[in-house]
Amino acid sequence: MYAPRLPAVLFDLSRLHPRTVASLYSNLVTRPMGAAVRLVLEAQLAEIAGPCVSVLDFSQVRVMDYSCADEIVAKLLVRYRAPDRPADAYFVARGLREHHVEAVEAVLRHHSLLMVAEYEEGEARLLGTDDPVEHECWAALSSNERVDLLEFVASRGYHPEAADGVIRRFVSARVAVLFTEDGLCPVTRIGSINPAPERSGEDA
């Protein structure tokens, strides 16, 4: 049995400010701006019927500071991993460059969150952790349609309990989906191959 495919919706973060001007908001700085972008994104997510994979596109964002990363990325993930989340949304980042990653990693670690970033060469990188077991398990999971993490962890010489901890962490952080008793699927494999047309502030 394979994981169900969910619609993927692309959000261009440089265009989600309610007062969008083509180049002005490609610099995401200050906490109020980050909050405004997040509120527009949440409003558009509320209009989508059913579960989805929300692709946060950073490719047109020239600058993003810590406060904006905290407002947009961290607060989104915190809210949508909670049991009372307003919608069943999963989040993946695309178009991240190294200067974006620094801010994103900082806020993820501050809040004990995880997020997946997809790159053009096909790599799906796990952000927010320095744990070698989590990174090794993610590499195995993201490169296979299906993998038994218990066996994988044991083959690397780690304690079997480490696999249970990783599975719980991945599922609670919503970077993976447990869709059968033994079927763990990375979030990068549940979204449709081609994301739906991008959403912008003009759509709100």
What region does 50 belong to: left with phi over 0, alpha with psi -120 to 50, or beta?
Answer: left
The pLDDT confidence band at residue 56, using thresholds 50, 70 and 90, is very high
Select from 76, 77, 12 the least CA-distant residue to 39: 76
Its pTM stands at 0.85
| pLDDT at residue 145 tops 70 | no
Q: Where are the alpha helices (DSSP H) in the chain?
A: 31-46, 66-69, 75-81, 98-110, 132-142, 149-155, 160-172
Q: Which is more confident, 135 or 24?
A: 135
CA angle 158, 127, 184 (to 5 degrees): 55
Domain edges within the chain:
8-129+188-203
Q: Which is more confident, 12 or 200?
A: 12
CB 192 within 8 A of CB 149: no
| pLDDT at residue 91 tops 90 | yes
Q: Other C-beta atoms within 10 Å of 134: how many?
A: 20
Sign of CA dihedral 123, 127, 132, 137: negative
Q: Which of 1-10, 29-38, 53-62, 134-143 has the lowest mean pLDDT?
A: 1-10
pLDDT number for residue 204: 42
The pLDDT confidence band at residue 23, using thresholds 50, 70 and 90, is very low
